[in-house]
């Protein structure tokens, strides 16, 4: 699992490479927000992701579906182009 901390809406490959990584253990999911063809979105609280002493930060967490076939099937069911 990859965990990144960022505030940019559009990320380049270089942006992703420079992002601070942190452990999944630092995130607590608090509420399911919704789902779509490619995954689910949760509200959560992350601890010390901005710095070692930053405390709690409210976050949105996108959890992608694992299977490409599952994603393709979900998109087709919704009538979208793949």
Q: Which sequence spans correspond to the domains of the chain?
A: 18-77
Residues of the chain with pLDDT under 70: 1-9, 11, 66-82
Report the pLDDT value the prediction gives residue 56, as an integer from 0 to 100. Answer: 93
Provide the pLDDT for residue 38.
80
Superfamily of domain 18-77: Phosphorylase Kinase; domain 1 (3.30.200.20)
| Confidence at residue 19, expressed as pLDDT on a 0 to 100 scale | 75
pLDDT number for residue 73: 54
pLDDT at 67: 56
20 φψ region: left (φ > 0), alpha (ψ -120 to 50), beta (else): beta
Listed in order, strand segments (DSSP E) in the chain are: 4-5, 20-21, 27-35, 39-47, 56-64
């Amino acid at each position: 699992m990859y965990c990144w901390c960022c505030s940019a809406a559009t990320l380049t490959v270089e942006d992703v490479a420079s992002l601070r990584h942190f452990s999944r253990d630092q995130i607590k999911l608090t509420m399911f927000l919704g789902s779509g063809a490619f995954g689910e979105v949760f509200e959560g609280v992350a601890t010390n992701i901005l710095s070692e002493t930053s405390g709690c930060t409210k976050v949105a967490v996108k959890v992608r579906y694992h299977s490409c076939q599952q994603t393709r099937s979900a998109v087709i069911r919704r009538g979208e182009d793949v």
